[in-house]
Amino acid sequence: MAAVPLAGRLIVPLAGGLIVLFLAVLLTDQSALAQQRGRSDQQGAPVNLLDFGKRSDDSQPADNQTTARPLSGDAGKIVPAPVPAAAPLSSPATPASDMPAGQRSDLPATSLQKRAVSKVSLASVGLKKAATLAPVLNSLIWSESEAEQALALISSTPAVGSSVSLQQLAAEIISIAAVPPRNAGALAEELVAARLDWLARAGQSDSLSQIVRLLPDDDRWAEWKRWQLEYDLIRRADDSACQDAEKNAQRSLDNFWHQAGIICALLAGDRNKARFSADILKASGAEDDNFFQLVDRLLGQSPSAGLSVDLTSLDPVDLILMDAAHEQISLAAFEQMPSSMIEAAAGFRYLAPDAALKTSVMMLERGLQKQGGTEQVWRSLLSAPMPAEAALATLDGLESAGLSARRHDQLASALLWVSLATRSEADTDMLIKTAIRTEVRSGRAGLLLPLYASLVRQRLAATDGAGLSDEIRADFALVLGLDSADQPLPQGLETETRRADDLRHLFDAAHGAGWQPEQLDNLDAWPLLPVLTALGSAAADRDWTAGIDPDARQGKDIPPAYHRLAPRIVLAIEQTAASGNVAETGLLAAMAVQPYDLGWIAPVDSARIVAALKQVGLDNFAEMLADEVIISFLLRRHFTAMVG
């Protein structure tokens, strides 16, 4: 299967028919084992072992709500998060209303059951959920498309890019249960595979899991079924995982399922069974040094010295065992996790700080975690992994030139922010200003704006703005105004009241009010006029010819350099929007925009995308995208030299 997120395990025949029979008997009766453990699927959702709290991405499908179980050595209790030298990280609870679509526990996961797949077209399998941001995102979004066109769009749409709102829109379009496109019969499997692959690349683990559960049990989807078991084990949904392990171990010689059976024995606290099964598997010729080392550690059969695992060959099963053995999962180890498991990362309790930092910013970038959750993870570090000066030096000279693919590594942004949050020296304000400028050049400033706004508020609360230069006051006022235009500026920024008022009026115009030329003058934001017009904003009636000064300046600086979106794609977007095709319009918009930082796209092109989204009834997404464009444009205009 193309782009399968997990490598297949080597199938090694067991030594003789008797051993096969013995293993089959040995790994049966997991349902009885579940009764012995005294737990059932009705006891609640999986426990988040990284203590992230009930984030927007922690919900589980209704048929997968199980209780966390300790591994061997912790039998009979749930072990609280330890406090090692590098303290475990956490994030706050997120209300259900803030949860991304398809992940809220109060919405139905799906109306289809696996046994009913044969009664419907395979191509229609997906998540059945109530309309969230737009009623037009319903089961008919593909009904007017050709299957070949749908397949090409799904395969070509970037999984990650500059716009969180377009990523969320693409995720809804691709994951929803819908009437298949025309002539989908011959391409049904390819369409489903393309959707699974996109969700995997986008890190949409929870939606991916719910769809995988609906797939038939046949060889075409075998690798995804393995992925599902690993996902369940990471999320501690072990009732479901162990049932699958039992079923497959009885009919397969594949080492993977027998390894899963050993893990299930450990989950049940049956050390003797786990030890005996591991010995039989090793004797059969299985070669997986990482796995057997970790099992020995859990069974108390290895020396107390550190493990010698091969970090380049770790897989999710090994990481599950490392976490259970209280072995810290380093960044090098965690980077072996496929992107399809990003949401499941909350199930790991022993992530190293840098691994947890990178995971959190990756989730933020994909719209899988809110700013508040990300900030709490970052603030949980009581000391910075590196000084602010060193963190800035690692980013010195990095320029994305407005291209999403050229952004610097996500971990660099997290390390820089943490170093500033834990700093109190007098030059911290200057370093914050420099950091924001650096992030603008690297193309991630819009994403990180709420986090830097929090840093600014922290500094103003500590200093009341004493000693700030006029330039830094203007920078801080812009950051706070872009983040929360409806909130008054805090003490210390009283001199920037007009700037805050201008920003508030600009965002009002983006949400239905009339635009005012004075605000566009003051903010040097006239290039955004097409975007405001696309949103339906209009200026009050006035005589534009009155009072013209022939000597008035024509512009504040040289016209800025922009990326222009591909004309053929923009024309295709407008054509599909005119025909009312919601799915194709949404995916084409993501295809056109995501490769470029929003502040580097010509506003006239952004306006055409916004207008097309509104035309097909995606008004909320159009406004969200417009807000992102305005923020990115003004950050670039203010913090960089925009020259042609």
* 376-389 pLDDT, tens digit each: 999 998 888 889 99
Decide if 89 contacts 351 (C-beta within 8 A): yes
Q: Spell out, as residue ranges, where the chain has pLDDT lower than 70.
A: 1-121, 130-132, 303-306, 546-560, 641-644
Decide if 477 contacts 522 (C-beta within 8 A): no
**Closest CA relative to residue 598, chosen from 498, 512, 507, 528:** 528
Task: Record the pTM.
Answer: 0.79
**Closest CA relative to residue 276, chosen from 26, 515, 535, 577:** 26
End-to-end CA distance of the chain: 46
Residue 295: its pLDDT value, please? 92
Q: What's the rounded Cα separation, in Å, for the pair 411 and 404? A: 16
Decide if 467 contacts 500 (C-beta within 8 A): no
Q: What's the rounded Cα separation, in Å, for the pair 303 and 483? A: 53
Q: Residues near 263 by Cβ (< 8 Å), separated by ≥ 6?
A: 233, 245, 317, 320, 321
Q: What's the rounded Cα separation, in Å, for the pair 364 and 644? A: 32
How crowded is the C-beta side of 332, counted as CA atoms within 13 Å? 5
Residue 130: its pLDDT value, please? 63
Alpha helices in 526-581 (DSSP H): 529-534, 567-579
Decide if 640 contacts 599 (C-beta within 8 A): no
Cα angle 384-474-626, degrees, rounded to a multiple of 5: 85
Dihedral of the alpha carbons of 212, 215, 216, 217, in degrees to the nearest 10 = 0
**Closest CA relative to residue 294, chosen from 270, 329, 268:** 329
Q: Rounded to 5 degrees, what are φ and ψ at 517? A: -60, -30
b or e along 289-307 (b: 16 or more beta carbons within 10 Å of the residue's beta carbon)?
ebbbbbbbbbbeeeeeeee
